[in-house]
Amino acid sequence: MTTIRLKGGRVVDPVSGATSQRDLYLVDGRVAAALPADGRVDDTYDCTGKIVMAGAVDVHSHIAGGNVTMSRLLLPELHVSEVAGPDGMPFSTAKWSGWETGRLYAEMGYTTVIEPALAPVHALQTHLELADIPLIDRGALTVVGNDDHFLSLLRDREGETAIRDAVAYQLATSKGLGLKVINAGGPAAFHSGLRTFELDDVVPHYGVSSRQILTTLLTAVDQIGVPHPLHVHANNLGVPGAPLTIEDTIAAAEGRRMHFAHIQFYSYGKDAEGMMTSGAEEIARSLEAAPNVSCDVGQVMFGPTVTISLDLMKQWQGAAYASPKKFSLTDGDAEGGGVVPLVYAKTNWINQLQWAIGLEIFLLSPDPWRVMMTTDHPNGGSFTTYPQIIHLLMDSGERARWMEAMPQKAKERTGLADLTREYTMEEIAIMTRAAPAKILGLHDRGHLKDGAVADVAVYDDLADRTAMFSRARYVFKSGRLTVRDGQALGWISGLTSILAPEVDTQMESRMADYITDRFGVGPAAFAVPERAFGDRTIFKVEPCQT
């Protein structure tokens, strides 16, 4: 037995109780509320004056898969490596590599990250990439709703059971942790030449509306017992007036649980002239009225970045604004993907407005359990800006300083300057730990209750929250010290959490026929078998709801 004592820190964990100064024990990779009976402590870390939190959990960050790797190949100039890493940690400073991703997350105190776009036909690549991201646990959301097989089931008016079985098949074979739909029907419509797609628009040749796809999937998620609600990338991303789309989509859900991805990108209103304004208040009202709905923000932060999305329609439109002037667009077997680089410039009033709208959503949030922190990495900005975002949320003075640079045209279109709310440390702990873990169904993390996975981040309690959350003093992954003084200490591998819903044998043989007709090879070519990872242990099966 190995017992680690974190001595005298201020433990911020709203799930287990009020913030207090106390010792925390990590025993054989699990959190223990009290010192084990034998009283032996192997290692003690002095946490006096420091903040102790559960390891952070990211509900939506594009860190692996074909489209992420496409962005690596498209934009070499954005990630030229120039610093040597320490011995024994190969590729730790290789920019945009999986190794660097794992290190950077760990050094901020993150211990679990979810890749939100697992394309079933490319599941093995995504899992190979995830397995090469060290120091964190991972998971991925299986993308459904735009593939020919699924749309054909809807067109042919197959029953709920067949649809549930087909979706469960995709989830199980791709080894996803949840289900996601992207602009339901939009990418399929784009393949057929359409360039816009609304909730009641119909996918050509299938006669199926976006609304139908969405509601069918909401039902399937419940029937399969997926712990994470359907993860929805709604229609009309980035379109002024999209708050109405969100309202309509919430209405379509009829009270069923649903998670909106990167809602900031749907929070744009328009004024009388059709110019963009903040729609954050409308979004906040919609969220307030719908306790069944959660979201992540997708905060925009300034600088050059790249957008990676399976929303082909949106990416085709966005390609006109690519900076540098290049993009990739893949018509895949279902969605495919688009990669478009862009710059969020401090001098651009629209980008400033996007930044402000994201913060407004955080500050108008009715509930930190339902509004989570993301940048939709890298779409709104890098995950490495999280400490700055926390700083902006906890410190209204910091916000005022940033707003000084804001062009007047942006200032008059957002209510950000009037918002005085400052997030508490407890709210930060909920928003970045407890809430994402809970909504993903990862009940063993995101908190420090007795028996939780010993994923712990210890921070110096600095007024400069950016500095504080950029470099954790200590990070423990499953009870092993992985970061000290803001520096990763070496490579250890985490696990990829997956669901393993039962697959109906009849659906299995129907899918085998379909796959063979479509690809000329059978389902084995799409499988994600454990043997593909050699001797490594990769997967951890999480339970479905019953």
Identity of the residue, 209 or 352, whose beta carbon is nearer to other proteins in the bound complex: 209
Confirm or reject binding of residue 384 to other proteins (CB under 8 A).
no
Q: Which two tokens stand for residue 226?
A: 């997926």
Among 17, 90, 207, 291, binds other proteins (CB under 8 A): 90
Q: How far apart are the first and last CA of the chain?
A: 34
Q: Which two tokens stand for residue 27?
A: 């025993």
Among 102, 139, 145, 336, binds other proteins (CB under 8 A): 336
Distance CA 165, CA 505 (A): 9
Q: Nearest distance from residue 271's CB to other proteins, in Å? A: 31
Q: Nearest distance from residue 376's CB to Zn ion, in Å? A: 4
Are 92 and 146 in contact by the 8 Å Cβ rule? The answer is: no
Which of the 8 DSSP states describes residue 499?
E
Give the DSSP per-residue string, 451-496.
TSB--EEEEE--S-HHHHHHS-SEEEETTEEEEETTEE-S-----E
From the list 134-142, 268-276, 298-306, 522-530, the region that binds other proteins by CB under 8 A is 522-530
In our burial notation (b when 16+ CB lie closer than 10 A, e otherwise), range 448-483 reads beeebbbbbbbbbeeeebbebbbbbbbbbbbbbbbb
Distance CA 293, CA 397 (A): 31
Q: Nearest distance from residue 481's CB to other proteins, in Å? A: 23
Q: How far is CA 493 from CA 43, 138, 397, 478, 529, in A?
A: 22, 10, 40, 11, 18
Contacts with other proteins by CB under 8 A: the residue count is 65
Q: How many CB atoms lie within 10 A of CB 237?
A: 25
Within positions 315 to 334, which residues make up the interface with other proteins, using CB under 8 A? Answer: 316, 322, 325-333
Among 75, 171, 230, 456, binds other proteins (CB under 8 A): 75
Among 99, 197, 266, 459, binds other proteins (CB under 8 A): 99
Identity of the residue, 86 or 255, whose beta carbon is nearer to other proteins in the bound complex: 86
Q: Nearest distance from residue 99's CB to Zn ion, in Å? A: 22
Identity of the residue, 327 or 476, whose beta carbon is nearer to other proteins in the bound complex: 327
Q: Nearest distance from residue 82's CB to other proteins, in Å? A: 7
* Contact letters for Zn ion, residues 346-385 (x by CB under 5 A): ------------------------------x---------
Confirm or reject binding of residue 64 to other proteins (CB under 8 A).
yes
Using a 10 angstrom Cβ sphere, with 0-12 exposed, 13-18 middle and 19 or more buried, the burial of residue 223 is middle
Identity of the residue, 137 or 376, whose beta carbon is nearer to Zn ion in the bound complex: 376
Residue 506 interacts, among other proteins, Zn ion, none and using kind-specific CB cut-offs from 5 to 8 Å, with none
Q: How far is CA 443 from CA 267, 437, 446, 459, 498, in A?
A: 31, 6, 8, 23, 13
Q: How far is CA 356 from CA 264, 295, 300, in A?
A: 10, 17, 8
Residue 529 interacts, among Zn ion, other proteins, none and using kind-specific CB cut-offs from 5 to 8 Å, with other proteins
Identity of the residue, 95 or 480, whose beta carbon is nearer to other proteins in the bound complex: 95
The residues with which 107 forms a beta bridge, in sequence order, are none
Confirm or reject binding of residue 72 to other proteins (CB under 8 A).
yes
Q: Which two tokens stand for residue 245?
A: 């789309």
Confirm or reject binding of residue 28 to other proteins (CB under 8 A).
no
H helix or E strand, kind and range, residue 100: helix 98-107
Q: Nearest distance from residue 114's CB to other proteins, in Å? A: 17
Are 361 and 420 in contact by the 8 Å Cβ rule? The answer is: no
Residue 376 interacts, among Zn ion, other proteins, none and using kind-specific CB cut-offs from 5 to 8 Å, with Zn ion
Confirm or reject binding of residue 202 to other proteins (CB under 8 A).
no
Q: Nearest distance from residue 335's CB to Zn ion, in Å? A: 12
Within positions 117 to 176, which residues make up the interface with other proteins, using CB under 8 A? Answer: 121-122, 124-125, 128-129, 132, 148
Confirm or reject binding of residue 103 to other proteins (CB under 8 A).
no
Identity of the residue, 55 or 337, whose beta carbon is nearer to Zn ion in the bound complex: 337
| Strand, coil or helix: 290 | coil
Identity of the residue, 397 or 534, whose beta carbon is nearer to other proteins in the bound complex: 534
| Strand, coil or helix: 227 | coil
Q: Nearest distance from residue 234's CB to Zn ion, in Å? A: 12
Identity of the residue, 321 or 519, whose beta carbon is nearer to other proteins in the bound complex: 519
The secondary structure of 1-35, three-state, reads: CCEEEEEEEEECCCCCCCCEEEEEEEECCEEECCC
Q: Which two tokens stand for residue 13?
A: 């964990």
Distance CA 164, CA 173 (A): 14
Are 352 and 410 in contact by the 8 Å Cβ rule? The answer is: yes
Are 132 and 98 in contact by the 8 Å Cβ rule? The answer is: yes
Q: Nearest distance from residue 536's CB to other proteins, in Å? A: 10
Confirm or reject binding of residue 493 to other proteins (CB under 8 A).
no
Identity of the residue, 49 or 207, whose beta carbon is nearer to other proteins in the bound complex: 207
Confirm or reject binding of residue 61 to other proteins (CB under 8 A).
no
Confirm or reject binding of residue 115 to Zn ion (CB under 5 A).
no
Among 97, 112, 235, 249, binds other proteins (CB under 8 A): 97
Of 299, 270, 263, 265, which Cα lies nearest the Cα of 284? Answer: 263
Of 175, 100, 102, which Cα lies nearest the Cα of 139? Answer: 175
Q: Nearest distance from residue 387's CB to Zn ion, in Å? A: 20
Instruction: Give me the residues that bind Zn ion (CB under 5 A), please.
Output: 376
Instruction: Give me the residues that bind other proteins (CB under 8 A), please.
Output: 64, 66, 68-70, 72-76, 79, 81-85, 90-91, 93-100, 121-122, 124-125, 128-129, 132, 148, 191-193, 205, 316, 322, 325-333, 336, 339, 517-521, 524-529, 531-532, 534
